[in-house]
Amino acid sequence: MNRLLSGVTAALLLSGGALAEGVRVVVDVAPIHSMVARVMQNVAEPTLLIRAGDSPHDFALRPSAAQSLQDVDVVFWLGHMLTPSLEDTLATVATHAQSVELSEVPGTTVLEFRQEAVFGEDHHDDEHEDAHDDHHDDHAHEGVDPHMWLDPDNAAIWLTEIADTLQKADPKNADIYAANAAVAKSEYSELSLEIDALLSPLKAEQFVVFHDAYQYFENRFHLEATGAIVLSDGRAPSAARLNEVRDEIMHQGVTCVFSEPQFDPRMVQAVAGMANTAELDPMGVEITSGPDLYPTLIRNLAMAISSCLRNH
């Protein structure tokens, strides 16, 4: 909790000069912040609430940090499924701010969490029933998968919502917001076409991800991960789950196993066997925040997947 206090306070103070004369905007996580920053380019800089490397799942705002949000005009956030603590905070602290929950924007693609360590496994033959009993808690995270930004089509829809919201909050800069959003949508569309061409030959390749954060990316670009090492919310897996993933990698010809920069890669190394390994960064932890973070993040995912799957 202390981390959020220091992060919000420092960010608002440091960016106060840039925001003082324009609309005051706070955004929850770096990928969403990048979209908002792109729409606000040449007007003001939004404040990033949750810094790179901090988990949004357990991030909480201390009551003593309330003053930091009281004067904000607009808060853009993905939704309660990613940052559960923000819902009550915004309702009680940012009482004068407009709260825009992007996961609720009409047209947004929304997917449910996958429940198994090996995706598409609803059957689990009799010999696996004991293992199922051993790690039933591994499948307890149900509901909506919050990693919606990994589908650029969702991002394009959100750009329109972001621009519309900012135009109403700051009418004098409405034309700039509209123009920035239009250019960004075109850029995101071109990026998607680029990635379609890069990944289309790899649809049949099998890969395992560190945690189940990528199905929006898979869905948009017609890939299908074989499984995930840890739970969707990042909780540590059971020994039974690790064994299940290791067996799948060994017996199903999995080409690549992906780690993430926030987590110890030794867990990946323990299950990878002869498969290639590489790193994916779904939050943009290793990318400088700002307007370019989102397209860089999406392109980096595509390049890492392509390179690893082709190298076999």
Q: Are residues 182 and 91 in the same domain?
A: yes
What pLDDT does residue 16 have?
38
| Residue 289 forms part of a structural domain | yes
Q: Which residue has the higher pLDDT, 299 or 242?
A: 299
pLDDT band, residue 238 (cuts 50/70/90): confident
Q: Per-residue pLDDT for 9 more than 80? A: no
- What is the overall mean pLDDT for the chain? 84
Average pLDDT over residues 99-116: 93
Q: Per-residue pLDDT for 193 more than 90? A: yes
Q: Per-residue pLDDT for 7 more than 50? A: no
What pLDDT does residue 195 have?
99
| Residue 110 forms part of a structural domain | no
Query: How many whole angstroms separate alpha carbon 14 and alpha carbon 264?
Result: 32
Contact indicator for 4, 66 with CB cutoff of 8 Å: no
Q: Are residues 306 and 279 in the same domain?
A: yes
Q: Are residues 207 and 94 in the same domain?
A: no
| Residue 119 forms part of a structural domain | no
| Residue 262 forms part of a structural domain | yes
What is the percent of the chain with per-residue pLDDT over 70, rounded to a whole number? 82
Query: How many whole angstroms separate alpha carbon 122 and alpha carbon 139?
Result: 12
Query: 145 CB contacts (<8 Å, ≥6 apart)?
Result: 81, 110, 111, 112, 113, 114, 212, 213, 215, 216, 232
Q: Are residues 187 and 282 in the same domain?
A: no
Question: Do strands 207-211 and 227-230 pair parallel, antiparallel, or not at all (unpaired)?
Answer: parallel
Q: Are residues 172 and 206 in the same domain?
A: no
Take residue 246 and report the two structure tokens written for it.
């290791």
Q: Are residues 229 and 290 in the same domain?
A: yes
Q: Are residues 212 and 263 in the same domain?
A: yes
What pLDDT does residue 302 have?
99
Q: Are residues 205 and 305 in the same domain?
A: yes
- Maximum separation of any 2 CA atoms in the chain, in Å: 67
Least confident interval from 50-54, 59-63, 212-216 = 59-63
What pLDDT does residue 110 have?
97
Q: Per-residue pLDDT for 100 more than 60? A: yes
Q: Per-residue pLDDT for 116 more than 60? A: yes
CA geometry: angle 217, 223, 225, nearest 5 deg: 90
Which secondary structure element, helix H or strand E, spans residue 76, and what is its range?
A: strand 74-77
What pLDDT does residue 283 have?
95
Q: Are residues 179 and 252 in the same domain?
A: no
Query: How many whole angstroms separate alpha carbon 246 and alpha carbon 224?
Result: 18
| Residue 115 forms part of a structural domain | no
Q: Are residues 187 and 278 in the same domain?
A: no
Query: How many whole angstroms separate alpha carbon 285 and alpha carbon 99?
Result: 25
Which secondary structure element, helix H or strand E, spans residue 184, and what is its range?
A: helix 174-199
Take residue 172 and report the two structure tokens written for it.
């004098």
Q: Per-residue pLDDT for 6 more than 90? A: no
| Residue 113 forms part of a structural domain | no
Q: Are residues 15 and 76 in the same domain?
A: yes
| Residue 121 forms part of a structural domain | no
Q: Are residues 183 and 202 in the same domain?
A: no
Least confident interval from 85-94, 175-184, 220-229 = 85-94
| Residue 304 forms part of a structural domain | yes
What pLDDT does residue 64 have?
46
pLDDT band, residue 63 (cuts 50/70/90): low
Least confident interval from 75-89, 132-146, 248-262, 265-279 = 132-146
Least confident interval from 135-149, 213-227, 243-257 = 135-149
Tokens 């007007």 label which residue?
Answer: 43
What pLDDT does residue 141 have?
53
pLDDT digits (tens, 9 = 90+) for 282-307: 999 999 999 999 999 999 999 999 99
Domain containing 245 — which CATH number?
A: 3.40.50.1980
Query: 306 CB contacts (<8 Å, ≥6 apart)?
Result: 198, 199, 202
Q: Which residue has the higher pLDDT, 268 or 70?
A: 268
What pLDDT does residue 154 have?
99
Find the domain containing 281 and state its range: 126-147+197-310
Q: What is the DSSP string of 14-54?
A: HTHHHHTTS--EEESSHHHHHHHHHHTTTT--PEESS-TTS
Number of structural domains (the chain) is 2
What is the percent of the chain with per-residue pLDDT over 90, rounded to a whole number? 58
Q: Per-residue pLDDT for 142 more than 60? A: yes
Least confident interval from 64-73, 213-222, 275-284, 296-305 = 64-73
